[in-house]
């Protein structure tokens, strides 16, 4: 009798948990995904449109390229800090409020950048601008974890990542065209208008998606009308003491390094090798990578959902979170190493239009391959720590940004000393090492989670 009662309780808990994800109709869920994807595009445009404008900014502010480039490093810092802040406070106040608080920083910061008359003011307002929009990725991942159940989550996150990462490739084209034919100041005024539009859309159509009773403010017995609470944003980093979360963070970082090795020195490698000097055309060369992201992310997301369902059925209903990581193999072991290694060899040994076309194909393949690794890992982070999914995503993004900023700094010196081919081959080897970490996580995931429990999700609450 006790076992029957226990089974009924488990069934009731499961039904109640399923009902949480039915709060929003399918059309409303798609609208929410559109809104968070639109917000997720912003940080990509803010960061990627700036680089092609550096020569024009340096000229207007009577400075040098190297000095103005300091704003890129500052932006990486602001992005890491902002992601941690918005994610930590979203667990207390909710997702909606963090979007509404962040967008004014972006709007004011963008106007400040556009009106900057000195390097000092440019640095300050650039920090404010990047800080304001940096919650786009972690908040978006958290929102999707709030509204989609386990077996549907990968597909939704795939759509989100595909839309946002496509912006990373389109933005340099627009930034280069703006620098060439328009004005970098007008570009940042445009970003302010975009932020204002996003603020209006969030205010009118974006509901609070956090599960009822899970926000920190909901748990307070006594609260003021305007309740201000200090939340330590660095507490999110403590989640990475989990071997699982740290391993997949490092694996995704090693994969993203290949993207940066291909894209950051594009003007210096493909541009010089094939005689491309126009900034707008250089920016257009980023498009195949973005198209690969746009196509690869939803496909990878759907594939990871299929794998989760199949392995769960194979285990007769038992959920093993690391099964989702099996979707990374084709990208991490085939597409990424072959695309970046081939690009280095083609750039070195194949000239003319044939070499350029083959390089663009490699950029497309790399874009697809990166998503086949990045998307399942992003979904896995949400799966195993659903209640703190935004914080997990932010912590991973913050550490990843710091590692990528250091790695990016050595790309061009490496190309100068050992050449494009060897630099790309080293990046390919690092990506394969990342897959080794994923292999270990898949096979020893349960032991790794048991060694350090940071509040992992279970079948009943994921």
Question: pLDDT, tens digit, for every residue of 363-392?
Answer: 999 999 999 999 999 999 988 887 788 889
Give the percent of the chain with pLDDT over 70.
91
Instruction: Return the closest-CA partner of residue 113 out of 212, 189, 164.
Output: 189
Q: What is the DSSP letter of 269?
A: I
φ and ψ of 457, to 5 deg: -70, 160
CATH topology of domain 26-207+234-451: Growth Hormone; Chain: A; (1.20.1250)
CA dist 194 and 386 (Å) reads: 30
Instruction: Return the closest-CA partner of residue 57 out of 171, 174, 183, 168.
Output: 183
**Residue 204 is encoded by which pair of tokens?**
């009118």
Average pLDDT value over all residues in the chain = 85
**Residue 164 is encoded by which pair of tokens?**
């946002």
Report the pLDDT averaged over residues 52-78: 75
Q: What is the pLDDT of residue 406?
A: 79
Q: What is the pLDDT of residue 380?
A: 92
pLDDT digits (tens, 9 = 90+) for 300-320: 999 999 999 999 988 888 889
pLDDT digits (tens, 9 = 90+) for 249-279: 999 999 999 988 888 788 778 888 888 877 6
Checking if the pLDDT of 5 tops 60, the result is no
CA dist 131 and 106 (Å) reads: 7
CA dist 16 and 230 (Å) reads: 32
Checking if the pLDDT of 4 tops 50, the result is no
pLDDT digits (tens, 9 = 90+) for 91-135: 888 899 999 999 999 999 999 999 988 888 988 999 999 999 998
Domain boundaries, the chain: 26-207+234-451
Q: How far is CA 309 from the centre of its chain?
A: 25
Element (H, E) at 453: none
Report the pLDDT averaged over residues 141-166: 85
Q: What is the pLDDT of residue 231?
A: 80
Q: What is the DSSP letter of 211?
A: P
Q: Which H, E and C letters describe 145-199, residue by residue?
A: HHHCCHHHHHHHHHHHHHHHHHHHHHHHHHHHHHHHHCCHHHHHHHHHHHHHHHH
Q: How far is CA 1 from the centre of its chain?
A: 50
Checking if the pLDDT of 223 tops 70, the result is no
Checking if the pLDDT of 412 tops 90, the result is no
CA dist 105 and 108 (Å) reads: 5
Burial 368-395 (b: 16+ CB within 10 A, else e): bbbbbbbbbbbbbbbbbbbbbbbbbbbb
Q: Is the separation of the CB atoms in 312 and 324 below 8 Å?
A: no
């Amino acid at each position: 009798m006790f076992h029957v009662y226990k089974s009924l309780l488990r069934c009731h808990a499961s039904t109640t948990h399923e009902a949480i994800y039915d709060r929003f109709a399918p059309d409303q869920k798609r609208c929410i995904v559109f809104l968070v994807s639109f917000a997720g595009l912003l940080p990509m445009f803010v960061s990627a449109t700036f680089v092609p404008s550096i020569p024009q900014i340096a000229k207007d502010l009577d400075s040098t390229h190297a000095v103005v480039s300091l704003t890129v490093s500052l932006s990486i810092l602001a992005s890491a800090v902002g992601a941690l802040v918005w994610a930590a406070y979203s667990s207390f106040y909710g997702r909606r409020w963090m979007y509404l608080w962040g967008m004014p920083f972006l709007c004011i910061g963008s106007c400040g950048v556009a009106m900057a008359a000195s390097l000092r003011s440019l640095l300050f307002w650039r920090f404010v601008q990047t800080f304001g929009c940096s919650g786009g990725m972690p908040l978006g991942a958290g929102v999707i974890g709030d509204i989609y159940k386990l077996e549907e989550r990968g597909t939704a996150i795939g759509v989100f990542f595909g839309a946002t990462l496509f912006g990373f490739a389109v933005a340099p084209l627009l930034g280069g065209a703006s620098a060439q034919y328009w004005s970098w100041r007008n570009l940042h005024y445009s970003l302010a208008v975009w932020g204002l539009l996003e603020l209006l859309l969030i205010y009118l159509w974006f509901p609070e998606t956090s599960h009822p009773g899970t926000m920190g403010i909901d748990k307070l017995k006594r609260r003021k009308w305007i309740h201000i609470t200090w939340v330590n944003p660095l507490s999110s980093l403590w989640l990475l003491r989990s071997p699982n979360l740290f391993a997949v963070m490092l694996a995704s970082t090693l994969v993203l390094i290949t993207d940066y090795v291909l894209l950051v020195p594009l003007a210096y490698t493909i541009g010089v090798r094939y005689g491309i000097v126009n900034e707008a055309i250089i920016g257009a060369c980023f498009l195949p990578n973005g198209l690969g992201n746009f196509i690869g992310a939803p496909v990878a997301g759907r594939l990871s959902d299929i794998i989760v369902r199949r392995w769960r059925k194979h285990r007769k209903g038992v959920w093993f979170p690391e099964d989702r990581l099996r979707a990374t193999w084709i990208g991490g072991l085939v597409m990424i190493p072959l695309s970046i290694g081939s690009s280095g060899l083609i750039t070195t040994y194949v000239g003319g239009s044939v070499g350029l076309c083959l390089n663009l194909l490699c950029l497309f393949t790399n874009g697809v391959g990166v998503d086949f690794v990045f998307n399942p890992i992003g979904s896995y982070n949400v799966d195993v720590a659903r209640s703190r999914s935004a914080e997990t995503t932010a912590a991973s993004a913050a550490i990843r940004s710091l590692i990528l900023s250091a790695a990016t700094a050595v790309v061009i010196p490496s190309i100068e000393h050992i050449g494009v081919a060897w630099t790309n081959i080293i990046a390919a080897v690092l990506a394969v090492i990342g897959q080794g970490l994923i292999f270990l996580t898949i096979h020893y995931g349960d032991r790794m989670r048991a060694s350090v429990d940071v509040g992992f999700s279970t079948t009943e609450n994921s």
